């Protein structure tokens, strides 16, 4: 999956229009469309950074550098961002929940 396809996927999953994304990152609607269609192959680092920040994902996820499959990487990134701002105690509760879930056989899930 190319960066344009990832942008399209993230935009659709977030329920945003081309114009909403364009306004959020400071480019034209046409430019976002060109990125999604692969017609603008080399977006600037600054634009890629703004897009990643807007969608709440890491640069590795948006650019495809991550070795984790795209949907899984996006899910992991959302979980990670969800932990931001939690107290140490709350993070410990989440970690305990994850350990409990991982110790269960997959078919009991």
What pLDDT, on a 0 to 100 scale, did the predictor assign at position 25?
97
Q: What is the dihedral of CA 9, 18, 51, 32, to 10 degrees?
A: 100
Q: What is the pTM of this model?
A: 0.64
Residue 27 binned pLDDT confidence (cut-offs 50, 70, 90):
very high
pLDDT in tens, 48-98: 999 999 988 888 888 888 755 567 767 777 788 888 888 999 999 998 998
Range of the domain at 24: 3-104
Query: For position 44, which CATH number holds?
Result: 1.10.260.40
How far is it, in rounded angstroms, from Cα 96 to Cα 82?
16
User: Looking at the 3D structure of the chain, how many domains does it have?
Assistant: 1
The confidence score (pLDDT) of residue 79 equals 82
109 assigned to some structural domain? no
């Amino acid at each position: 999956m190319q960066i344009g396809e990832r942008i399209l996927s993230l935009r659709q999953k977030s329920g945003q229009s081309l114009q909403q994304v364009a306004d959020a990152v400071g480019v034209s609607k046409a430019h976002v469309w060109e990125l999604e269609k692969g017609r603008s192959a080399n977006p600037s680092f600054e634009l890629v950074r703004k897009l990643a920040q807007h969608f709440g994902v890491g640069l590795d996820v948006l650019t495809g550098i991550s070795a984790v499959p795209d949907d899984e990487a996006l899910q992991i990134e959302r979980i990670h961002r969800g932990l931001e701002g939690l107290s140490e105690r709350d993070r410990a509760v989440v970690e305990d929940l994850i350990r409990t879930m991982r110790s269960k056989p997959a078919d009991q899930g």
